[in-house]
Amino acid sequence: MSIVSKRLLSSAAPPLEAAAKKFYGDKVSYGSLSKAQKAFLDRVIRVDQAGELGANYIYFGQYTVLATKYPHLKPVLQHMWDQEIHHHDTFNKLQTQRRVRPSILTPLWKVGAFGIGVSTALIGKEAAMACTVAVETVIGGHYNQQLRILMNQYQDIPVYDEHGKEIAEPDMEIKDSPELTSLKDLISQFRDEELEHLDTAIEHDAEKAVPYMLLTEAIKLVCKGAIWTAERV
Ligand SMILES: [Fe+2]
Ligand SMILES: [Fe+2]
């Protein structure tokens, strides 16, 4: 595991409890979220959907240029691309379920991401891998930040027992609603997969790209700008 991904993992949340209602069935219910909490969830889904769409198109671009030229890279790129397609599909479904409007800049994210994938791959396979390092570093950190907020700012939602009485100190298993628990599980799973992509890229000579620092720092800036924008429009 690379130093970057170790650092990102160590600042991450502890593993999350799955199946919040396992022992309690439908006996518990939850108070509604505040306006700010709801707005944050919508923003999470909008920006993550846009980000995964971008990742999907970056790998599409890289695969288009590199897969036939370097047969040994084909399965590596295919595996990462498949995972991005799954991430993208998952957030598409959540977006429909929660009726979150997509980022209005969706066409730009597609063209821009495909362009980044193709252009870095045209510089060389090392530059394509350096692009992956930059993207996954930013995305890993971004997911960690979302997890921290989901863990710290959703603690005040009341939990009610089967008689509708508020439970004063709910157990860990029922503290978070199944919806919140599954979103946190999903984000931490995707975060781990992004960090695997980061490690894969380093194993495949990302650091040999010239000029590595300039390339990765420039792409990180682009990603941060895209995240900032997709959260808002
Ligand atoms: Fe992803
Ligand atoms: Fe990824």
pTM (2 d.p.)? 0.84
Q: How far is the CA of 159 from the centre of ligand 1 (A)?
A: 33
Helices (H), 153-211: 172-175, 178-203
- 194 labelled binding-site residue: yes
Query: Within its chain, how far is the Cα of 89 from the centroid?
Result: 12
Contacting residues for 196 by C-beta, under 8 A, at least 6 apart: 5
Give burial (CB, 10 Å; 0-12/13-18/19+) of 88. buried
Phi first, then psi: give them for residue 156, nearest 5 degrees: -100, 10
State pLDDT tens for residues 51-70.
999 999 999 999 999 999 99
Among 21-25, 107-111, 141-145, 196-200, the range scoring the smallest mean pLDDT is 21-25
**What integer is the mean pLDDT of 197-224?**
94
Q: How far is the CA of 20 from the centre of ligand 1 (A)?
A: 25
Residue 3: pLDDT over 60: no
> How far does the centroid of ligand 2 lie from the alpha carbon of residue 157, in Å?
32
Q: Which residues in the chain belong to E strands, given as ranges?
A: 29-30, 159-160
Identify the pLDDT of residue 41: 92
Higher pLDDT, 9 or 114: 114
Q: How far apart (Å, rounded) are the C-alpha atoms in residues 145 and 8?
A: 10
pLDDT confidence of residue 192? 96
Taking the C-alpha atoms of residue 210 and residue 207, their distance in angstroms, rounded to an integer, is: 8
What separation in Å is there between the alpha carbon of 192 and the centre of ligand 2?
Answer: 9
Q: What are 171-206's pLDDT values in tens digits?
A: 777 888 888 888 999 999 999 999 999 999 999 999
What angle is formed at CA 149 by the lines to CA 146 and CA 150, rounded to 5 degrees?
Answer: 85
Residue 176: the pLDDT is 84
- Residue 40 Cα to ligand 2 midpoint, Å, equals 23
- Quote the ligand 2 centre to 135 CA distance (angstroms): 8
Over 50: is that where the pLDDT of 16 sits? no
Ligand lying nearest the CA atom of residue 135 = 2
pLDDT of residue 165: 86
What band does 74 get if pLDDT is binned at 50, 70 and 90? very high
Residues surrounding ion ligand 2 at CB below 5 Å: 55, 194, 197
30 bridge partner residues: 159
Q: Using the predicted structure, report yes or no on whether residue 109 has a pLDDT greater than 90.
A: yes
The residues with which 217 forms a beta bridge, in sequence order, are none
The fraction of the chain above a pLDDT of 90, given in percent, is: 67
